[in-house]
Structure 1
Amino acid sequence: MIFYNKLAATPLFQGLTNSDLTQIIGQTKFSFYKFASDKTIRNEGEPCRSMAFLLSGTARVITYSDDHGFSVEETIAAPYILQPERLFGLNQRYTHNFIANSECDIMEIDKNDILRLTDEFVILRINLLNIISTLSQKATRHLWQPSPDNDEGRIIRFLKSRCSSPVGKKTIRIKMTRLAQETGLGRLAVSKELNRLQERGLLVFSRGIITITNMEKL
């Protein structure tokens, strides 16, 4: 019953009837894994051959720039699907590192079973399309937003555009010179604006690490 409830709570299976869920559980192979705190769940570059669900616990998501010159760390909580868009398309590899914050329960469903289920259950197919479409829309939306007309706005836009979620704690590891390069500002201007944001209690920065406790307040 506990597994049934957890499955029903995941975005992919929401809206299915009790009969549908019972049929899916009876006809689908589920793989279950436990990860202790600080253990790696998935690595950047690892092939994505199954859909992985975080059923319980919290995890850190670390995303690196292509040259690994800076990184952004965020926190996710169950229920959560680990990069479902990477199961299909041109690049079928994970682009984040997922590391357990607490003990995490992970459930996996093989790609072939996902394809079978989306063929058999229309609601599940619509759910998957909605999940992938939402991720795509979020990824492209910020490109069309007006460019900030001040130094603070440029820094905040850079920080926000690199995060998967607009809320919660974020840890950005980036050198001052790289942040200046990315925002088109001088190093002195970047330092000045970060100090101002820190004085207002919006972030803390030191030695190449910017910590934002509540991204929604920035």
Structure 2
Amino acid sequence: MKKHDSPIYRTILDLPLIKGASSARLTEIAGKYKLHFLKFQPGQTIVTAGTPCDELKFVLTGVVRLTITDPDGLLTVSQTLTAPQVIAPDHLFGRLTQYPATVQAVETTGIMEISKEEYRRMLSSDTVFLFNYLNSVCTTSQRGPRWLTALTSGSPIQRIAYWISSLTQQGSTDIEIRAEKTDLHTVFGIPAPAWRSATNHLSSAGLIKDVTPHSFHVPSRAPLAALLN
């Protein structure tokens, strides 16, 4: 483990699932649990979609790009995560324990890896880590009233916000939504006139940009997700 005053050490302490631990506790963890530190060059694949999520991968330095494609190839969603971050923590346990996205390094990227079994031991040994993980999973899974109605009685804007928020990770930026085989309004289940009105409104508000029949960009997930809160 790096020295307490090193940038990497401070970054680890600032990770969402580690935050709140003391420097002494982190030093203890480094001696007790197996942590692997890996480096990836731009363009290298860190994770392939569909592979078992048998470890947690923390992005300590750099930038990564996640790409999700639905099984029918109708929709592709790409998003950027910038360190410090963790890749798909909600897929470590539960029913769906495969990585949902292929992840590639955008620039030289440092990854800290810990196996599922080692992380389970960490959760059992320290309530700080347990509460951090539970908070992360709950934030991902819990939905307010607007989330519940977005797909039924919600406006087209709310439906777009719902799908973008559901298909991307907290903290993601530079999101691209692309439909290769049909128009996006068909994929989202929104009539063409209502789709144009909704995307025009979101574009004017700066929440999306570069709108075409088959794609658009979202600068940041957070403002769209806020429409559902």
Query: Which TM bucket (shorter chain)?
Result: 0.7 to 0.9
Deviation at 1:141, TM superposition (A): 6.6
Instruction: Say whether 1:49 aligns with 2:54.
Output: yes
8 Å Cα contact 2:74-2:187 kept in structure 1: no
Structure 2 CA distance, aligned partners of 1:161 and 1:111? 24
Deviation at 1:177, TM superposition (A): 3.5
1:20 to 25, 32, 42: 25
Match of 1:127 in 2: 132
Instruction: Say whether 1:92 aligns with 2:97.
Output: yes
Where does the alignment leave 5 or more consecutive residues of structure 2 unmatched?
none
Structure 1 CA distance, aligned partners of 2:31 and 2:53? 24
1:72 to 73, 77, 82: 77
Structure 2 CA distance, aligned partners of 1:200 and 1:132? 30
Structure 1 CA distance, aligned partners of 2:67 and 2:26? 33
- Deviation digits for residues 148-173 of structure 1 (CA, Å, limit 9, x no counterpart): 44x56655554455433487322111
1:209 to 204, 215, 222: 215
Structure 2 CA distance, aligned partners of 1:114 and 1:204? 41
Deviation at 1:12, TM superposition (A): 1.7
Deviates more, 1:183-192 or 1:130-139: 183-192
RMSD (Å), alpha carbons: 3.1
Match of 1:4 in 2: 9
Partner SS for 1:173: strand
Deviation at 1:70, TM superposition (A): 0.8
Structure 1 CA distance, aligned partners of 2:135 and 2:187? 32
Change (3 A) 1:24 1:199: closer
Structure 2 CA distance, aligned partners of 1:19 and 1:170? 38
8 Å Cα contact 2:173-2:219 kept in structure 1: yes
Change (3 A) 1:26 1:182: same
Deviates more, 1:122-131 or 1:103-112: 122-131
| Residue type at the aligned position of 1:127 | N
Deviation at 1:99, TM superposition (A): 1.3
Partner SS for 2:21: coil
- Deviation digits for residues 169-193 of structure 1 (CA, Å, limit 9, x no counterpart): 2211115844232343444664576
Match of 1:105 in 2: 110
- Deviation digits for residues 131-154 of structure 1 (CA, Å, limit 9, x no counterpart): 1221212599723347344x5665
Change (3 A) 1:123 1:98: same
User: Which one has a larger percent helix, Structure 1 or Structure 2?
Assistant: 1
TM-score normalized by the length of structure 1:
0.82
8 Å Cα contact 2:54-2:115 kept in structure 1: yes
